[in-house]
Structure 1
């Protein structure tokens, strides 16, 4: 069956959405690759013919962590949908998975459904709503993976970084489940330290992956927090992340707090 192609001009399309504005930008020299910007922030990179391709480095790190920690088909919840890049990749690489992607902006969800070749429910269900409120509606011990990748402009909404939010995610995950969060780090590690404390209040094991320069506070960048009740396979994760196109360092909680301070 032929892939559904994007319904847009060959260059750029700008649309008004409930939370502001979205811009869909074609990647130069690529036949079917696009970057989705939400309120001026790059939010997703999509290649229609290759759903497993993840051009955003932190999404590649997340996919690698999921591959090392989990097996088989997954029940995954994405808090923050945007273009559903990671959900598309998991659908392509983990046949039989059932995923739910939640986004605060219902108009953006409608555009994304129209623009991209997204799997249909129950493979991927899209839901509009506040992620903190929506995660509270899921049953206990039902998810294998929860991914938080939600932003208000360039910051994580406050309600998605509280101890209560982390406790809800821990409740919804199965005992062997994995929580991942994309944390923007400005270099002073203040936000990262707060997130680590909140994650540690609900999970037995907390770790992080990022570029060495970001973890050393030399520049801004994305940090992926990983949290679980079971021990994480640190050596295998470090090996996988070091072979990523953008190499990342894996730090367990002790090494992480030693690096960024308490």
Structure 2
């Protein structure tokens, strides 16, 4: 039985960006999918914060395990709240980490807080991702996870060069930036995002489904910058780094900020 009567009944509510829905998972008694305007945003299993349902969540989870095996106290900034899936995971696996989550939509946060309560140790702020990042003290975070979308699109304020510069400034020298991207063939957005992030970081890696990174279908790609761990791709995955990443980027140029 869920927190509000019929466990199998989806919950829908109007939010700032449209219509949000929490859809119960018939296979997992405490599993829920958060959708906004019909687009899946997050999956949360209240009984098992280590369960990651979406492929991109699993890939980010794999990166976090590689990056933080010996780290016990780090400060983490999550840009984009959703269901707080990765914040819940880190609280479960790295309880010594201090986490801040920034969510721009108060109605989404209210829905998640009511139906999918999260640990009180996770600090959640209402705000704009770019503004919160620029307001951060230099070298104040070990890890920044960017999962910011309006529907299925990343806002320009997060995709532009100024965001990459602000992220580099806010990270420790050995810190890591992990960005969730979505793209369609021929991955023009991803190529531009690589060029944009490279304007602020020396080391970059792309990680994702092999068919997506070969431009064969729509999907998510993880862009990593900074102290990137060595990732061994599984059979259906692909990792692009070094000279191969330069070839992948081609002639793409950084996305400059619009006048503010």
Which residue is 1:7 aligned to?
A: 4
Other structure's SS at 2:111 match? helix
Give the Cα–Cα distance (whole angstroms) in 2 for the partners of residues 95 and 51 of structure 1: 12
Match of 2:17 among 16, 19, 26: 19
Other structure's SS at 2:135 match? coil
Which residue is 1:150 aligned to?
A: 148
- After superposing on structure 2, the runs of 4+ consecutive aligned residues of structure 1 that deviate more than 4 Å are none
Deviation at 1:30, TM superposition (A): 1.9
Other structure's SS at 2:145 match? strand
- 1:136-193, Cα deviation, whole Å (9 max, x unpaired): 1111111011011011111100100111011101111100100000111201111001
Deviation at 1:5, TM superposition (A): 5.7
User: Normalized against structure 1, the TM-score is what?
Assistant: 0.90
Other structure's SS at 2:4 match? coil
Report how many aligned residue pairs link the two structures: 248
Structure 1 regions of 5+ residues with no counterpart? none
Which residue is 1:110 aligned to?
A: 110
Q: In angstroms, what is the RMSD of aligned CA positions? A: 1.7
Match of 2:234 among 217, 242, 253: 242
Give the Cα–Cα distance (whole angstroms) in 2 for the partners of residues 29 and 189 of structure 1: 34
Other structure's SS at 2:223 match? strand
Give the Cα–Cα distance (whole angstroms) in 2 for the partners of residues 131 and 16 of structure 1: 21
- 1:62-94, Cα deviation, whole Å (9 max, x unpaired): 121122123223311111100000110011000
User: Normalized against structure 2, the TM-score is what?
Assistant: 0.90
CA gap of 1:242–1:72, structure 2 versus 1, over 3 A, is farther
Give the Cα–Cα distance (whole angstroms) in 2 for the partners of residues 6 and 58 of structure 1: 28
The correspondence of residues 106-255 of structure 1 with structure 2, limited to 5 A, is: 106-120=106-120, 123-228=121-226, 230=227, 232-234=228-230, 237-238=231-232, 241-242=233-234, 247-255=236-244
CA gap of 1:199–1:6, structure 2 versus 1, over 3 A, is farther
Other structure's SS at 1:249 match? strand
CA gap of 1:107–1:217, structure 2 versus 1, over 3 A, is same
Bigger shift: 73-82 or 252-261?
Answer: 252-261
Which residue is 1:38 aligned to?
A: 36
Deviation at 1:221, TM superposition (A): 0.7
Which residue is 1:79 aligned to?
A: 79
Match of 1:256 among 226, 245, 248: 245
1:97 is aligned to 2:97: yes
